[in-house]
Amino acid sequence: MQNYIFDNTKDTSVKDFEIIDDLITTLKTRFTTYGYQQVRTSTFEYYDLYTSITGTVNKDEMIKVIDPSGNVLVMRPDVTIPITRMTALDKYKSSDESRLYYVLDVFRQSQNEHKERTQAGIEYFGENSPESDAEVIMLAIHTLKDLGFKNFKIEIGHAGFFKELIEHVQLSQHELEQLQTYIQSKNIAEIEPFLKTLTVEPTVRSAIEAIPLLYGDPIMVIQKAKQVIQNENMQLKLQNLIDVFDVLHAYGVEDYVVMDLGLINNMNYYSGIIFQGYVEDFGKPVLMGGRYNNLAEQFSDEVPAIGFAFEIDYLFQAMKQQYSPLQEKTLVDFIVYYDTEKQSEALFTAYRLREDGYNVLTYSTGNRAKAQIPETTIQYKKSLNLLIYENKEIQFQDSNELLQLIQDPKEDA
């Protein structure tokens, strides 16, 4: 019997968990500075929620369970859909704008990926403008900089540009998916012979063949894109991209941006700007997002929205690969050793240090071998008290003097 849930390859060491916890804290702090508030959704959702919404997760990827009443449930395969439902059905909304963030696990049945993945993302409801699009992308850039990444790019495209181009091309679902695969992988060698098997006007065919090449410097891509526009709607989509890039330029982050009009996301509910983020020397996108103005309509409401999600595991792997400073966190600041006669004094000192925010371990002298000695240790011996700091031994009388020494350690005259 296949094991669908248990996946011990995702287990992390204590040190890794500390790094991931710091990483998530950094994300949450930055999200908050842009006005976002944390929410959560249920781990289990009704299967019908996802099957009834168009453009959602492939049903074969959903991990299904049956509750005692016989209802088919799925373990949360996506966060955007339940948060959109929650926002659309909220009868007590205090304003037309809502800024929400989450740190939640998503579950999908996949051959090559972990079944359980942690995502940290934001959803911005209530405004549809180039300024709001750019601000969300700016938040993604700001957060990657907070995490210590220096070389990264946000690839920006538009979900509607390609859709408008093939709107009047007669394609079966299979043919459309095949073409999208070629474009997404920039497989130019396969696109041309594939299109020759279809009935496509020459000008449209040339435009489709050009799509994978519309990648790189935004100014250059914009100029080339103007040459493949087939109708007014494509012009509007391109203008939307231009307007968003202008705002990002005003933020001063244009060097982190590339444009990709061949960017296609598997979530078909995206309707406008779409984007993904890559860091240097890491081949998978660490974040993905986009605008999905029409999703709330499937819950009988009209709420324009845009959002993105970081893949925590990918961020962690990329940080380890690039030796991020977050990995250098010291788990223990002090170890306090004490002889039996000094137990009370030593434990009181440990209490005061922990009150000041230090990480402290305590051991009786006989258990010294169990501890890994950090740079700084405190020893309460029967005859004297020592602070050992940078290979210096400094005597002190009591915890008050010790705390003063820690603030300004120096040799005892």
Q: Which of 161, 125, 155, 137 is nearest to 295 (CA)?
A: 125
pLDDT at 278: 97
Strand partners of residue 119: 104, 311
Digit-coded pLDDT (tens) for 374-409:
568 899 999 999 998 878 899 999 999 998 888 775
pLDDT at 109: 84
Higher pLDDT, 368 or 336: 336
Query: What distance in Å separates the CA atoms of residue 342 and residue 268, rounded to the nearest whole number?
Result: 67
Query: What distance in Å separates the CA atoms of residue 335 and residue 317, rounded to the nearest whole number?
Result: 31
Query: What distance in Å separates the CA atoms of residue 387 and residue 394, rounded to the nearest whole number?
Result: 5
User: 23-27: long-range contacts at Cβ-Cβ below 8 A with a sequence spacing of 24 or more?
Assistant: 23/147, 23/312, 23/315, 23/316, 23/319, 23/326, 24/103, 24/120, 24/312, 26/143, 26/146, 26/147, 26/326, 27/103, 27/120, 27/143, 27/146, 27/147, 27/310
- Does residue 205 have a pLDDT over 80? yes
Residues near 14 by beta carbon (within 8 Å), at least 6 away in sequence: 331
Residues near 185 by beta carbon (within 8 Å), at least 6 away in sequence: none
Query: What distance in Å separates the CA atoms of residue 304 and residue 219, rounded to the nearest whole number?
Result: 28
For 257-281, give the DSSP string.
EEEETT---S-TT--SEEEEEEETT
Query: What distance in Å separates the CA atoms of residue 310 and residue 28, rounded to the nearest whole number?
Result: 12
- Evaluate whether 183 touches 191 at the Cβ level (below 8 Å): yes
pLDDT at 12: 60
Higher pLDDT, 267 or 22: 22
Pair of tokens at residue 299: 């819950």
Banded model confidence at residue 17, pLDDT cuts 50, 70, 90: confident
**What domains, with CATH codes, occur in the chain?**
8-326 (3.30.930.10), 330-407 (3.40.50.800)
Averaged pLDDT for residues 297-311: 90
Strand partners of residue 252: none
pLDDT at 94: 61
Cα 172 to Cα 125, 198, 199, 202, distances in angstroms: 34, 10, 12, 19
Share of the chain above pLDDT 90, in %: 54
pLDDT at 357: 87
- Burial label for 261, CB within 10 Å (0-12, 13-18, 19+), is buried
- Does residue 169 have a pLDDT over 90? no
Query: What distance in Å separates the CA atoms of residue 124 and residue 129, rounded to the nearest whole number?
Result: 12
Q: Around Cβ 164, how many Cβ atoms within 10 Å?
A: 20
Query: What distance in Å separates the CA atoms of residue 124 and residue 135, rounded to the nearest whole number?
Result: 10
Pair of tokens at residue 99: 């800024």
- Evaluate whether 61 touches 110 at the Cβ level (below 8 Å): yes
Residue type, 61: E
Banded model confidence at residue 88, pLDDT cuts 50, 70, 90: confident
pLDDT at 200: 86
- Evaluate whether 335 touches 360 at the Cβ level (below 8 Å): yes
Query: What distance in Å separates the CA atoms of residue 358 and residue 332, rounded to the nearest whole number?
Result: 8
pLDDT at 158: 95
Averaged pLDDT for residues 32-40: 96
